[in-house]
Amino acid sequence: MQKSDLFIGGEWVTLSEQLEVTNPSTGEVIGQVTNGGENEARLAVDAAYHAYPEWASKTANERSELLIKWHQLIKEEAEEIAKIMTLEQGKPFKEAIGEVGYANSFISWYAEEGKRIYGETIPASFPNKRILVQKQPVGVIAAITPWNFPAAMITRKIAPALAAGCTAVIKPAEQTPLTAIYLARLAEKAGIPAGVINVITGDANAIGKTWMGDDRVRKVTFTGSTEVGKLLMRQAADTVKKLSLELGGHAPFIVMDDADIELAAEGAIASKFRNAGQTCVCANRIYVHENVIDSFLVKFIEKVRDLTVGDGFKEGNDIGPLIDEDAVAKVKAQIHDAKEKGASILTGGDLVSGLFFQPTVVAGATDEMVCMTEETFGPVAPISTFQSVDEVIKRANNSRFGLAAYVYTEKLSNAIRMSEALEYGIVGVNDALPAVAQAPFGGFKESGLGREGGHHGIEEFLETKYISMGI
């Protein structure tokens, strides 16, 4: 049983009111965290604001050295962090280890990228003038993160923020606070100064409102539901904060008749069932060309039946539990709706036990079904057929979301034409797992604003200053 405090200005703060953290695999209470609210949220901003001038005035190399120390400690403790993640989130331990590596890659990448925050000189209009452009950190930033990637969603935001010279207040998801707190402990151990990173757990509404209303918080970076993203966008208006939002998705996964079907079936498994289908870039609807539907289904279903569902700590298990009862209810409702509208369930379709759901294949899916328009966040693969490129592009783009899309084809002209036509921020061509630290991750339309990763990701934490100089 872990007991965790708030981390404010380098101090570990505990309050009498605690929240329980449970293991979704067993329902067991595995930890307690302090239930922070408005007061603690404000104290965290005080601390970050106080720490900001000194952190911002460090050289990029000094900040990089501290980030590298943090990276090193996370590497050394990868197993421990992965264990906490599997306990509080449920994902298979091998996936949790994979996430620690992915999370840590943002820290090492931005430790270097922070050294390349270059300015510009621009030719002036008059001989006695000079034009300089500088990049400066935005100031205090607030990061609000979800439960599906308890480590990576923190580092993907905090590494570029710190590298840019910002200080941060963080609110992890109530389901997975222990990973975030452990990462903060390692940051402290690495020597990252007091107040540069602050972590508050507790009442999401109160904490969010306090930060959104505080004009010292200059930037908010959020990953989570579209609904909360829209609320934060409204709340940001009063103090005109910079905003990055990484919201819901509804990824189309397109298999052309010229695709390598084995590769496509493997890709669909990786994209659909990773983290039990609980990622915002998971394939949410699979479109297969009618000429190859039979061969695709044979291979895909065979692979789905090979997946094992169960506790993430048992070696060999591929699919852990869903996060909570609401997630199970949503998956059940989508399957029920699809069946009512004429789809057939080729495999799965039901609960195993507790929060464990069978990997499910829904054939004959049509665009009117809820699973074809609303994010599923569960191990359900609706499959629909199509006849032409134009048809599938039109159907794929007919969504309010625009995060990730996938195309499987061996034909160069299809690869280029389709990747350009898809209204999505990320397109995987014969690639089901495109997320890496050096590339820009983010969505079009209601999937969000801004990008995380790559040199684009650090820009989100920088202001551009134009200096016009008479000489």
- The residues annotated with a catalytic role in the active site are 246, 280
CA distance 452 to 471: 39
Minimum distance of ligand ADP from residue 62's CB (angstroms):
31
To which residue do tokens 């690869």 refer? 415
Minimum distance of ligand ADP from residue 222's CB (angstroms):
7
- The residue ranges that bind ligand ADP (CB under 6 A) are 144-146, 171, 173-174, 204-205, 208, 224-225, 228, 231
Q: For ligand ADP, which is the closer residue by CB, 224 or 252?
A: 224
State both tokens at 48. Answer: 């970050």
Q: For ligand ADP, which is the closer residue by CB, 233 or 268?
A: 233
Minimum distance of ligand ADP from residue 24's CB (angstroms):
13
Q: For ligand ADP, which is the closer residue by CB, 77 or 375?
A: 375
Q: For ligand ADP, which is the closer residue by CB, 223 or 414?
A: 223
State both tokens at 392. Answer: 């599938």
* C-alpha dihedral, 414 to 416 to 422 to 425, nearest 10°: 140
Minimum distance of ligand ADP from residue 410's CB (angstroms):
36
CA distance 19 to 181: 14
Minimum distance of ligand ADP from residue 159's CB (angstroms):
18
CA distance 320 to 308: 9
Minimum distance of ligand ADP from residue 118's CB (angstroms):
34
Asked whether 224 and 144 are in contact (CB, 8 A), the reply is: yes
CA distance 188 to 194: 8
To which residue do tokens 């969000």 refer? 448
State both tokens at 456. Answer: 């684009």
Q: For ligand ADP, which is the closer residue by CB, 96 or 323?
A: 323
Q: DSSP of 271-289, one letter per residue?
A: HHHGGGG-STTSEEEEEEE
Sign (positive/negative) of CA torsion 269, 272, 273, 274? positive
CA distance 255 to 293: 9
Q: Give the residues across from 253 on adjacent strands.
A: 286, 406
Q: For ligand ADP, which is the closer residue by CB, 160 or 448?
A: 448
Q: For ligand ADP, which is the closer residue by CB, 247 or 363?
A: 247
Name the DSSP class of 399: S
Minimum distance of ligand ADP from residue 319's CB (angstroms):
18
Which of 445, 440, 405 lies closest to 421 in space, CA to CA?
A: 405
Cα angle, residue 102 at apex, residues 100 and 107 outer, rounded to 5°: 90
State both tokens at 435. Answer: 């997320």
Residue number of the CB closest to ligand ADP reads 208
